[in-house]
Amino acid sequence: MSSKPVEKLTSAEAEKELDRLAQEIAAHDSRYYREDAPSISDADYDALRRRNAQIETRFPLLVRPDSPSHRVGARPAEKFGKVVHRVPMLSLDNAFDDADVGEWLARMRRFLGMKEDVEIIVTAEPKIDGLSASLRYENGVFVQGATRGDGAEGEDITANLRTIADIPLRLKGKPPKLLEVRGEVYMTHKGFEALNKRQEKEGKQTYANPRNSAAGSVRQLDPAITAGRALNFFAYTWGEISELPADAQSEMLQKFEAYGFIVNPQVRRCKTLTQLLKFYESIAAKRAKLGYDIDGVVYKVDSLRLQERLGFVSRSPRWAIAHKFPAEQAETVLADIEIQVGRTGKLAPVARLKPVTVGGVVVQNATLHNEDQIARLDARIGDTVVIQRAGDVIPQVVTVLLEKRPRNARPYKFPDRCPICGSHAVREEGEVDRRCTGGLVCDAQTVERLKYFVGRDQFDIEGLGGTLIELFHNKGLLKEPADIFALTEKPQKVAAVLAEHRVALSEERRAAEGKDAVKAKTKKKDEGEGKQVENLMAAITARRTIGLDRLINALGIRHVGETTARLIARHYRSIDAFLDGMKAADALEELQHIEGIGGVVAEAIHDFFAEKHNRDALNRLLKWLDVQAMAAPSKTSPVSGKTVVFTGTLEKMTRQEAKARAEALGAKVSGSVSAKTDIVVAGPGAGSKLKEAQKHNVQVMDEEAWLKLIG
Ligand code: IVH
């Protein structure tokens, strides 16, 4: 990396460096994401990206169409075929301490309507730190193997998996006709060391840890290379299956063994929280001696019948949880505290640290969460602090080492004004965060909202990254989302803003290179810029057609991210139904009844629509858009697409469970009866809703009839 300060760069130098950085960062992305073999530290990589961003901020006109700031990570390698998982490969919710595990058990009991003393048998298994794979067997023969990918679609790595001795090519005994066995491909510590020694001897890339080396080995294009690597496989769950050969997780594992798989020998059945926690402690104590990496323990409800009743919340099952081992820690110096203002006005304190390695990763920023946290720690600039990181979570400052405090360190005073717009920053009662009250007048919030709007999971407008948003905002072209689309009607203005910056740029160039060189280059740039404006207009226009889920996510409503937005979109299906729903008197109630959406989230959505300026801004935006409705769930069940209301006491299951099941079958569960209701399930004690049903001539049935109907 060039060491010249960004302020001192001429535009010619900047252009050259951006070109080089784009290439270099793309190469690192590819090594990291595609080859599992990063060749620089995270800190050095971050530094490259930061330098790229700094140069782009100073020279917005030089932002390349292929700039690394427009990409979060490299796209998946194209080299393997794709495999769609018929049963998605889910992730697990995490528990970080004993209390979380207790709460998980309690939550399940509440969901199932069980008393506190009812036993739930749970299997406890080590959480293997490798990469998960799905193996498909038809008539006992291994036909296809795939990586997890994004859970819905993975890569076809059949040829490579065939070379792993732990993976049977033909099953023993009487397996189901169709069986997808899922588990973890991993490398033992011994295998890992031997591989790295060999790689080193041959002058090849060594791997950072066993997980990376297992991932890298499985994703070799040449299966002969995979065959030369000591890989192992533990089977722990299943995907698509023609018939279940057992009715408990523990029995399924025994079946897997009978079919010829290796199952982790540590797995235990536990009956109480105490037993689970004891298992966790004993595994933690054995961790170093196991011979392979694990990063926690997975608990799963043993009974498959109960698993089915418990079902899923968004991407993870209610019936399982991962109890993670504690994070890794390190000591370093708190060099500064910086306040960042987010799109909701939240003032987020970020610790700038002297770079330090924690668990193999260089860390130089950590979160300090909020004002109270800084006060609780009494963190002062210059202090020596302990930071920790766990998995992909943002590192955090956990303690301050008072004995190492410099004499002159002063207590940190949290600002009560927004560092960007100067508005008062206030803490509402009961809130931990201080928020800028600038709202629409705070540039930080406006810009962050717009950046979020064009983000990858929202409108994903190619070429319109943070730098251009800031530039257009500064020039008064952008204030709200609708303005982005209005840009397409003023290409001359957009070009003028760019041209204005050109003046500044060419002046600099003149100083650097002399007039003639400038003329030649300016001409070439003109053509380049014309194209840039054209491409940008095309990219914006392309997004005038947008899915309802993306639109809802892009609104930037507090607590509403990709997952929640999808739940809302699936529930209302079309933008008109959604807007009607928000206008209805029972808007809040209906939101609260969507599976997976809690009270706080429902209120945030409701509050958003209660504000006239939000509704107005959305209406201005909608003039530009063709919002695509969500497809109806493909599952056909006797109740799919029907609106159902539960009332009175249910005897076989809790209200929560009844609702979750109905929704899993494609029904919409509502809290109130209207002419739009299809079925009312009434238990003993049903009152006004039952009357309402009769008034509207809605079909009424008791719990038993309902259970029969849904099978
Ligand atoms: S069960 C629906 N069991 O952890 C449950 N997962 O965060 C599916 N993992 O992607 C997973 N050991 O790669 C399960 N004994 C175990 C596991 C395990 C490791 C990994 C797996 C999964 C991730 C979930």
- Return the CATH number at 561: 1.10.150.20
Amino acid identity of residue 707, one-letter, is L
CA of 217 to the centre of ligand 1 (A): 20
- 160 and 301 part of one domain: yes
Residue 179 located in a structural domain: yes
Instruction: Answer whether 133 contacts ligand 1 (Cβ < 6 A).
Output: no
Q: Which residues in the chain land under pLDDT 50?
A: 72-77, 505, 508-509, 511-524
Residue 379 located in a structural domain: yes
The domain that contains 30 carries what CATH number?
A: 1.10.287.610
Taking only the tens place, the pLDDT of each residue in 660-704 is 888 888 888 888 898 889 999 998 888 889 899 999 999 999 999
Kindly name the residue from 127, 255, 300, 346 that is annotated as catalytic.
127
Instruction: Answer whether 317 contacts ligand 1 (Cβ < 6 A).
Output: yes
Residue 595 located in a structural domain: yes
Taking only the tens place, the pLDDT of each residue in 435-483 is 999 888 899 999 999 999 998 889 999 888 888 898 899 999 999 999 9
Instruction: Answer whether 237 contacts ligand 1 (Cβ < 6 A).
Output: yes
Residue 77 located in a structural domain: no
Count of domains observed in the chain: 6
- 554 and 662 part of one domain: no
Confirm if 146 and 89 have CB atoms less than 8 A apart: no
- 164 and 254 part of one domain: yes
Instruction: Answer whether 293 contacts ligand 1 (Cβ < 6 A).
Output: no
pTM tops 0.85, yes or no:
no
In this structure, what DSSP letter does residue 325 have?
P
For residue 353, what are the β-bridge partners? 334
The closest-lying atom of ligand 1 relative to the alpha carbon of residue 237 is: 1
CA of 122 to the centre of ligand 1 (A): 15
Instruction: Answer whether 605 contacts ligand 1 (Cβ < 6 A).
Output: no
Compute the half-sphere exposure of residue 177: CA atoms within 13 Å on the CB side of its CA.
Answer: 2
Give the per-residue pLDDT at 526: 54
Closest C-alpha to ligand 1, atom 18? 127
CA of 173 to the centre of ligand 1 (A): 26
Tokens 């993975």 appear where? Answer: 154
- 466 and 414 part of one domain: no
Which of 388, 408, 435 delimits the end of a domain?
Answer: 435
b/e string for 575-590 if b means 16 or more Cβ within 10 A? beebbebbeeeebbeb
- 510 and 551 part of one domain: no
Which of 435, 456, 476 delimits the end of a domain?
Answer: 435
Closest C-alpha to ligand 1, atom 17? 127
Give the per-residue pLDDT at 392: 52
Give the per-residue pLDDT at 510: 52
Angle at 549 between CA 29 and CA 563, to 5 degrees: 65
Question: What is the token pair recorded at 107?
Answer: 């939550």
The domain that contains 415 carries what CATH number?
A: 2.40.50.140
Domain span at 669: 643-710
89 φ, ψ (degrees, to nearest 5): -95, 110
- 679 and 572 part of one domain: no
**Pair type for strands 82-84 and 545-547:** unpaired
- 215 and 316 part of one domain: yes
The closest-lying atom of ligand 1 relative to the alpha carbon of residue 94 is: 7
pLDDT, the chain, mean: 88
CA of 315 to the centre of ligand 1 (A): 13
Instruction: Answer whether 647 contacts ligand 1 (Cβ < 6 A).
Output: no
Residue 486 located in a structural domain: yes
- 197 and 127 part of one domain: yes
- 298 and 311 part of one domain: yes
Confirm if 278 and 286 have CB atoms less than 8 A apart: no
8 φ, ψ (degrees, to nearest 5): -95, -5
CA of 642 to the centre of ligand 1 (A): 35
Instruction: Answer whether 236 contacts ligand 1 (Cβ < 6 A).
Output: yes
Closest C-alpha to ligand 1, atom 9? 127
Q: Which residues contact 90 (CB under 8 A, 6 or more apart)?
A: 151, 312, 315, 316, 317
CA of 600 to the centre of ligand 1 (A): 30
- 338 and 368 part of one domain: yes
CA of 275 to the centre of ligand 1 (A): 21
Residue 76 located in a structural domain: no
Residue 560 located in a structural domain: yes
Q: Is 479 noted as a catalytic residue in this protein?
A: no
- 152 and 295 part of one domain: yes
Q: Which residues contact 443 (CB under 8 A, 6 or more apart)?
A: 420, 421, 473
- 468 and 332 part of one domain: no
Instruction: Answer whether 320 contacts ligand 1 (Cβ < 6 A).
Output: yes
Residue 635 located in a structural domain: no
Instruction: Answer whether 91 contacts ligand 1 (Cβ < 6 A).
Output: yes
The closest-lying atom of ligand 1 relative to the alpha carbon of residue 90 is: 2
